[in-house]
Amino acid sequence: MNNQKHIILIKKNFFLLHLLRAFVPSVREEKFFSQRRKDAKRSIDAKYAIFFALIFASCSTNYVPKPAGYPRIIFPARGYQTYNAKCPFSFRYPIYAKVVADSSDANQPCFLDMKFSQFNATVHLTYKPVSSFKNLYAMSEDARTFAYKHTVKAEDIIDSFFTNHQTHVSGIFYDIEGNTASSLQFYATDSVNNYIRGALYFNSHPNKDSLAPVIRFIHADIDTMIRSLRWH
């Protein structure tokens, strides 16, 4: 009888031991699960670190926009021809330009337009005879006033004097830098009988960056015109 009780007690203890093992892990199991928890925590911490690093980098990086691009301009080959009409002067001008009478004032036959249709640009030419020194001074001051009226939008205005004693041509060239309606202006005279003024205008919204190559190209053509200018 005592033996049976003893056996039953052993079985109960054995059952309780297994039940306890089911809910209370062994030391080896505890170490195993503890290490797994540490590894999982490190993995989560690493993911959070990467996540916040990416957020910080995206917030601290300065966005630099790309500069505006402009269409490529293909310039024609240079070539010149002579303008020699009924006006008391002649000059050489580009073969890709066209010189026509200024239609806005029919009473002034020597008011001319040198049109660069491919660039949507025109050099307006105004000829006037010189009647006296006072008259010449007034026209020279008008040319200066017309150039410097662009001061509001101009970044700089560079005026340069030119003279050719052999051809009796002298005057001032105005380079007007910035987003102005006119970029190049000049006047030329023999100081006695003849005076001519020129101004380059584009039939478009002024943009110094996009128009800069065209302005440089036409600048060379105007230089050729002034060097070849002759009075008749």
Domain count, the chain: 2
**Domain span holding position 92:** 80-231
**How far from the centroid of its chain's Cα atoms is residue 220's Cα?**
22
Q: Strands (DSSP E) along the chain, which ranges?
A: 80-83, 89-94, 98-101, 111-116, 121-129, 154-164, 169-178, 182-189, 194-202, 230-231
Question: Of 60, 89, 106, which closes a domain?
Answer: 60
| Residues 52, 97 share a domain | no
Question: Does residue 97 fall inside a structural domain?
Answer: yes
Residues of the chain with pLDDT under 50: 7-12, 14-20, 22-23, 32, 61
Question: Does residue 68 fall inside a structural domain?
Answer: no
pLDDT at 138: 97
Query: Measured between alpha carbons, how far is 96 from 86 in angstroms, rounded to an integer?
Result: 22
pLDDT at 95: 98
pLDDT at 103: 78
pLDDT tens digits for range 70-93: 567 899 999 999 999 889 999 999
Name the pTM for this structure: 0.70
Question: Does residue 75 fall inside a structural domain?
Answer: no
| Residues 89, 41 share a domain | no
